[in-house]
A and B are shown apart, each in its own frame.
Chain A
Amino acid sequence: MARTRRPVVPGWFTGGGDTDGGGPGAENFRLLGTRCGACGAVFFPRVDSFCRNPGCAGTELMEVPLSRRGTVWSYTDGRYRPPPPYVSDPEVPWQPYTLVAVELAAERMVVLGQAAPGVTVADLRVGMPVEVVPGVLGEDAETVWTTWWWRPVPQDDRRRA
């Protein structure tokens, strides 16, 4: 039976179809934030009720896609299994994953995420360009839980950009 693909949290990202990592359609994948109609402040994770700018009384927040590319602010990895609610199979030996904090120039904010599988700390440098791609956090009997991954922008793409 085919498992349903569901975002691990609803409303935080869109696009990318059924691809994981950099497959076809990945270029349509975007993190979703919200922007205050009154002051223009951007929020991720999304804020839908009240603007958090203390100088603004705005309550109209609209959904906006965040920049697809940014630069590495910092990075690290997880050499030990994190506790729940992170889901991992204790029977399977722990595979370290990489975490990347990415600076988005237009939004002037930093967004944390897991790196695409195979990207290690040795592949990363502070300041290097990265892009967001659709990812999979894990799966259970009925569901493939989707998420976002950061990965270095491929070399030939970088020259083109």
Chain B
Amino acid sequence: MTADVAVLGTGMHAWGKWGRSFVEYGTVAARAALADAGLEWGDVQSVVGADTVRGGYPGYVAGATFARALGWQGARVTSVYAACASGAQAIAAARAQILAGLADVVLVVGADAAPKGFFAPAGGDRPDDPDWLRFRLLGATNPAYFGLYARRRMALYGDTAEDFARVKVKNAAAGALNPYARYRKPVTAAEVAASPVVADPLRLLDICATSDGAAALVLCGPEYARRRGVADPVRIRAVSTVTPRYPRTDLDLPDIATDSAAAVPEPPVAFRPSIARAAYEEAGLGPDDLSLAEVYDLSTALELQWYEDLGLCAEGEGAKLLRDGATALGGRLPVNPSGGLASFGEAVPAQAIAQVCELTRQLRGQAGARQVPGARAGIAVNQGLFGHGSAVVAVR
């Protein structure tokens, strides 16, 4: 497969609330990824940074910020912002450079130091910004949208609060085995049920926290990997970065309304499933070929939605798949063996990169107590504000 790029190294900074700069976290992750790849920083020909809007100017030019912190060495530089999909878009940019012959070896870094509590829009009065409007007019936080989706699933498919809690229990059990996770204690259904309601029907433990954290990857062409003596590297076979099709009829943050389907009929495939479909097509494989999946469990209910959007089960059957144990460690198709955002929390520019770090460790057989036996293929899927959706397929 000439379109594959190899993952030569992965690195992370442990997630949590550390009170330090995103630059420090990103540099730790980058150095770890370089060490894992057996490379010097000076070997890197291109650096791609996933931006954080909370880092001020250095955060907007993350590529250069990390290059400066590691020591200027003249590498090509790229900075990428795509909200929650920033990390996946950074991987996409690195991959495109490798496939185009612009660089043999690229360092991808994402890091964030997130504030406590709800994410909020940037300051100032901006009535032409949908993200500003949803807060100003409705006070509609991210969890408010997660609550709407959760309630809708309950009405349509009969999901229950207990099903949602099961997702947390499952992911916390996996996260307890991951040294990079912020929350490393198992959680019981009773603890979820005892946590306060944030946005009905979702409780505090149904919703992922905001975190500090960082993740990095060293990517290269297969030929470069061979020259480094890595004959059988984990390979990235697909990165889908698709937009929705008009009319987009699934209400999504930060929008106050959907597109109307009165003049133009809805597309046959909705946005979230189209993200996975594009990646499957590019990779030449399907859900049956997967050994594991990393999905954006911004809320417990949303994880169930992803099962269906990834084609792991039919629409409405996500909770059944979960109840059957298929998606737990030891199940037929573990989902979020890393512990997911439930165990990590959100460090926006880092999380899609962290997902690919987990795929890589799993496919290398280096995931320790949370190893999915014989893992051969995995998908990581995420979604950012304003119609950014990305999925990465990695194979061994």
- Interface residues of A, Cβ cutoff 8 Å to B: 8-9, 36, 39-45, 52-55, 73-80, 82-88, 97, 99, 101, 106-114, 121, 125-127, 137, 147
B199 touches A76 (CB 8 A): yes
CB distance from A151 to the nearest CB of B (A): 15
Q: How many residue pairs between the two chains, A and B, have CB atoms under 8 Å in the bound complex?
A: 148
- Judge whether B151 and A76 touch: CB under 8 Å: yes
Interface assignment of B190: CB less than 8 Å from any CB of chain A:
no
Q: Is B264 an interface residue (CB 8 A)?
A: yes
Check B120–A41 contact: CB distance below 8 A.
Answer: no
Instruction: Give the Cβ gap from A25 to chain B, nearest Cβ, in Å.
Output: 22
Q: Do the beta carbons of A137 and B148 come within 8 Å of each other?
A: no
Q: Do the beta carbons of A74 and B152 come within 8 Å of each other? A: yes
Taking a contact as CB atoms under 8 Å apart, the answer to whether B144 and A76 are in contact is yes
A76-B262 in contact given A45-B257, A99-B138, A109-B249 (Cβ < 8 Å): no
Minimal Cβ-Cβ distance residue in A for B152 = A74
Q: Which residues of A contact B144 (CB under 8 A)?
A: 76, 78, 99
Query: CA–CA, A113 to B140, complex, Å?
Result: 9
Q: How far is the CB of A18 from chain B (nearest CB, A)?
A: 20
Question: Is B198 located at the chain interface by the 8 A CB criterion?
Answer: yes
Q: A53-B246, A78-B199, A107-B262 are in contact. List 4 more A-B contacts (CB 8 A).
A: A44-B260, A109-B260, A126-B156, A137-B137
Q: Which residues of B contact A109 (CB under 8 A)?
A: 249, 257-262
* Min CB–CB distance A3 → chain B (angstroms): 19
Q: How far is the CA of A84 from the CA of B141 in the complex (A)?
A: 10
State in angstroms the CA–CA spacing of A126 and B257 once bound together: 17
Residues of B112-167 at the interface with A, using a CB-CB cut-off of 8 Å, are: 117-118, 120-121, 125, 127, 130, 132-141, 144, 147-152, 155-156
Complex-state Cα separation, A130 to B134, whole angstroms: 21
Contact between B198 and A41, CB atoms less than 8 A apart? no
B251 within 8 A of partner (CB): yes
Collect the chain A residues with CB atoms within 8 Å of residue B138's CB. Answer: 86, 99, 112-114
Are B147 and A41 neighbours in the complex by a CB distance under 8 Å? no
Residue B314 at the A interface, CB < 8 A?
A: no
* Bound CA span A54–B387, Å: 15
| B147 & A77 in contact (Cβ 8 Å cutoff) | yes
Is B69 among interface residues, defined by CB-CB distance under 8 A?
A: no
Residue B196 at the chain A interface, CB threshold 8 Å? yes
Where the two chains meet, the residues of B that have a C-beta atom closer than 8 Å to any C-beta of A are 117-118, 120-121, 125, 127, 130, 132-141, 144, 147-152, 155-156, 196-202, 246-247, 249, 251, 255-264
Tell me which residues across on chain B come within 8 A of A79, comparing CB atoms: 196-200
Q: List 29 A-B contacts (CB under 8 A).
A: A9-B137, A39-B263, A41-B247, A41-B260, A41-B264, A42-B260, A42-B262, A43-B259, A53-B263, A74-B149, A76-B148, A78-B139, A80-B117, A84-B120, A85-B136, A99-B148, A101-B148, A107-B262, A108-B249, A109-B260, A110-B249, A110-B251, A110-B257, A110-B258, A111-B257, A112-B255, A112-B256, A121-B151, A125-B155
Q: Which of B117, B139, B198 contacts A97 (CB under 8 A)? A: B139
B263, A42: Cβ atoms closer than 8 Å: yes
Is A52's CB under 8 angstroms from B246's CB? yes
What's the Cα separation between A106 and B118 when bound, in Å? Answer: 35
CA distance A43 to B130 in the complex (A): 14
Residues of B within 8 A of A147 (CB): 137
Report how far A113 CA is from B139 CA in the complex, Å.
10
Residues in B neighbouring A112, C-beta threshold 8 A = 134, 138, 140, 148, 251, 255-257
In the complex, what distance in Å separates the CA atom of A40 from the CA atom of B262?
A: 8
Q: How far, in angstroms, from A42 to B152 measured CA to CA in the complex?
A: 24
Interface-centre pick from B125, B144, B255 (highest chain A CB count, 10 A): B144
Cα A70 to Cα B132 with chains together (Å): 26
Residues of B within 8 A of A83 (CB): 117-118, 120, 135, 141
Partner of B135, one of A86, A97, A107, A108: A86
User: Which A residues are CB-close (under 8 A) to B135?
Assistant: 82-86
User: Cβ of B151 and Cβ of A108 under 8 Å apart?
Assistant: no
Rounded to whole Å, the gap between the CB of A39 and the closest CB of chain B is: 5
- B260 / chain A contacts, CB cutoff of 8 Å: 41-44, 107-109
Taking a contact as CB atoms under 8 Å apart, the answer to whether B251 and A73 are in contact is yes
| A9 partner, pick from B133, B140, B149, B150, beta carbons under 8 A | B133
Chain A residue numbers with a CB within 8 Å of B152 are 73-74, 126
User: Which residues of the other chain, B, contact A113 by a CB distance below 8 angstroms?
Assistant: 138, 256
Partner of B141, one of A41, A73, A78, A121: A78
- Docked pose: A127 CA to B155 CA in angstroms: 9
**A30 to B61 Cα, complex, angstroms:** 44
Most buried by A among B199, B257, B258: B257
Which single member of A45, A54, A97, A108 contacts B133 (CB below 8 Å)?
A45
